[in-house]
Amino acid sequence: DTIEVVNPATVKITLKNPQSSFLYNMGWGDAVIVAPETADTNKEKPVGTGPFRFQNWAKGSSITLIKSDTYWGAPVSLDKAEFRIVPDAAAAIPALLSGDVQAFPFFPDPDSVAQVKDDPRFKVVIGATEGETILSINNKKPPFDRLQVRQAISFALDRKAIIDGASAGLGVPIGSHMSPANKAYVDLTGFYPHNVERARELLKEAGLENGFKATLKLPPPPYARLGGEIIASQLRDVGIDLQIVPVEWAQWLDQVFTKKDYDLTIVSHTEPNDIDIYSRKDYYFNYDNPTFDKIIADLNLTSDEAKRMTLLGEAQKILADDAVVGFLYELPKAGVWDAKLEGFWENAPIQANDLTKVKWTE
C-alpha cells in the first residue's frame, strides 16, 4: 500500500492485505534492491551490495567475481571466484581431476560421485534441497483428466527403482509437493505404494483395460533422461506405452511450461515453499480444485504457525488424493569439492551458491 523511508538504511512497508509470505519473499535473491541508475544494465553488468562484485562474463563459458572492497559486512576470504559453465554432466569429473574446477556445490551427475567418494583429494557432501522431482501430468488432456488414470500412474511408479537408477540411490521418496527437509512435510508416500495390479484395475475402471499411448517429454538433466527410461518401463508394465521425446530446456519452456503441449514430463521444482503453484490457473499442470485454492488463499492470510502447518498438511493431502502428478523424490544436493576448501553449504534451503564463508584451509 505504502512505502515510507524511515532513515537511509530503513524503509517501512505497509501492505494493503495480510501476506504471510512477505518477509520470506523479501529474502529471495530475486527480491534484491537495485540502484535505479544501474537497473537497465544489471542484466549484463550487475551491481549489488554483496561481498563480491562482478568482474567479467564470458557468455557460455564463465562468470568471474572479485572481492568487494566496499562491502558493508565482514570481508570474505576468497579474493576471486570464477563460475565455469560445464554443459555436459559427464565432463564434471574430468574437470575436477584436472584441477580445472575446484568445486561443484551442486554436482550435475550423481552416478559419477562414486568415482571420487574415496579420493582423499576431494570432499563429497550429500545434503538436502527443497526440490521436488515429479512426473508432471497434463491434467486436462484426455485420458489424464480422469482420476483413475492418474492414480494408476502413481501406483505403477516404483520410487526406489527410480531413485536407484536415476539418482544413484540419492534422494528421499515423496508423496506430495513438499520436501522432507521442510518442517511442514507430511509423509504421504503410503498413498500409492508400488502396485502393478492395482494400477491395471484402475485403468480398467477408466475403460482403458487395453492401455493407451502417450508422450513423455524429457529435459536435459540426468534425473529426467535416466528417470524417463525407468518410468517408461514401469508404465509399460501396466499397459501405458510411452514415446520418449528428449527436448532442450528452451524447447521444454516453450512447449511444456508455456504452451502446455505435453502429456507427461519429468522436472525438479527446486523453489522452496512453492506448493501454491497448483492453485495458479494458467500453470502447466492444468490442475483446478477450488478446495485446494481456498486452502492456499487462507494460508496466504495467516501468519499463525500452527494454522499454517495444518493448512499445509491439508494441501499436501489434497494433491495426493487427486494424484495431480507422480510425486517421485526430493532432489538431493550432492556437493564435491577440493578437500582443502571449507564453507560450502551442505543443504540448499534456497537456490544459491553462497561463497560468503568459503575459504582455503591451507
Overall pTM surpassing 0.85 (yes/no): yes
d(CA 132, CA 278): 13
The reported pLDDT for the residue numbered 20 is: 85
The reported pLDDT for the residue numbered 141 is: 98
**Where along the chain do the CATH 3.10.105.10 domains lie?**
132-330
The reported pLDDT for the residue numbered 63 is: 96
The reported pLDDT for the residue numbered 208 is: 98
The reported pLDDT for the residue numbered 232 is: 99
Domain spanning 132-330: CATH superfamily = Dipeptide-binding Protein; Domain 3 (3.10.105.10)
d(CA 125, CA 332): 10
Query: pLDDT tens for residues 49-58?
Result: 899 999 999 9
Residues of the chain under the 70 pLDDT cut: none
Please, what's the b/e burial string for 70-91 (b: 16 or more CB within 10 A of its CB; e: otherwise)? ebeeeebbbeebeeeebeebee
The reported pLDDT for the residue numbered 362 is: 84
Query: pLDDT tens for residues 204-241?
Result: 999 999 999 999 999 999 899 999 999 999 999 999 99
